[in-house]
Structure 1
Amino acid sequence: MPDDNPSILSPSILSHVSIGTNDFDRATAFYDRVLATLGCRRVLEHPGAVAYGRAFPEFWVQTPIDGARAAVGNGVPFGFFAASRAEVDAFHAAALDTGARDDGAPGPRPEYGAPYCGGFVRDLDGHKIEAAYWDQAMAAEPGLD
């Protein structure tokens, strides 16, 4: 890809990911509230599909194109960057308040790397989602390296 116009390049390694839902209106209301805690918004919309991001359409929620029921992928979590530990907490709280199931309270996860702090939930369709903050101050704490 030419880099003659770097302002159009996303900092993400991925173009996008998509998840299916069996209740589109309920799922988009959930993600409208939960992703707002991380500074994300609706970037694009099509009938039966909404893309979220900060600037680019990176996370799609949609009804399955083939018309079959949406299914949850085992071992397929979706992680979102948070700008602070407070955003991880807000993401987790908003998700639970909006009907998600707790799948791991916010906090350090040294097994994922010394600076990793995350909160995990299952969304309304059962997809595992998380907010993660890489807290460099934690990496400097004794016993966490």
Structure 2
Amino acid sequence: MFDHVKFGVSDFAASKAFFLKALEPLGVAVVSEGVPSYGIELSANDEVSLCLYQAEEKPAHLHLAFRAASRQQVDAFYHAALEAGGKDNGAPGLRPQYQGRYYAAFVIGPDGHNIEAVYHEPEA
């Protein structure tokens, strides 16, 4: 559905560092980068990308869910995001209230965004 999603952040350097470390276990890397007011583009597959830029106004809180390729990737995302300064908002585990196979972890990022990694398949 999306080609890319772009949103402003209050501290470009902190958000760039957070997202690069937190999303590294999901295979996300820098695709392109310009000055902070232009921002950075991140992607795992060059089909869909996440773009961040330095905003003047305080950004509204978002919920961003990233698809993982395994439960182990969800776990790795969670630990990397906490190491990058994220705050716990739900440790890795099943979320049967959403769906029986919904395995996810949640962290709060630098601007208060709820960042999630999710895997939808049964455990192998």
TM-score (norm 2): 0.89
Distance 1:55 1:111, change over 3 A: same
**Post-superposition offset of 1:131:** 0.2
Partner of 1:52: 42
Q: Which has the larger radius of gyration?
A: 1
**Post-superposition offset of 1:135:** 2.1
- C-alpha contact 2:23 2:81 (8 A) present in aligned 1: no
Partner of 1:90: 76
Partner of 1:8: none
In the alignment, the residues of structure 1 paired with residue 89 and residue 6 of structure 2 have an alpha-carbon distance, to the nearest angstrom, of: 21
**Runs of 4 or more consecutive aligned structure 1 residues displaced over 3 Å after TM superposition:** none
Per-residue CA deviation, residues 73-120 of structure 1 (Å, 9 max, x unaligned), is 3xx310001111111011111111111111111100112111110000
In the alignment, the residues of structure 2 paired with residue 121 and residue 47 of structure 1 have an alpha-carbon distance, to the nearest angstrom, of: 27
Q: Please give the root-mean-square deviation of Cα atoms over the aligned residues, in Å.
A: 1.6
**Post-superposition offset of 1:125:** 1.2
Task: Identify which of structures 1 and 2 has the higher relative contact order when contacts are C-alpha pairs closer than 8 Å and 6+ apart.
Answer: 2
One-letter amino acid of the counterpart of residue 82, structure 1: A
**Post-superposition offset of 1:72:** 2.6
TM-score (norm 1): 0.77
- Does residue 104 of structure 2 align to residue 114 of structure 1? no
Partner of 1:34: 22
Per-residue CA deviation, residues 22-60 of structure 1 (Å, 9 max, x unaligned), is 111111111111111101111121211111111325111
One-letter amino acid of the counterpart of residue 88, structure 2: D
- The structure 2 residue matched to 1:17, chosen from 5, 10, 19, is 5
One-letter amino acid of the counterpart of residue 59, structure 1: L
Q: How many residues align?
A: 121
In the alignment, the residues of structure 2 paired with residue 106 and residue 72 of structure 1 have an alpha-carbon distance, to the nearest angstrom, of: 25
In the alignment, the residues of structure 1 paired with residue 20 and residue 50 of structure 2 have an alpha-carbon distance, to the nearest angstrom, of: 12
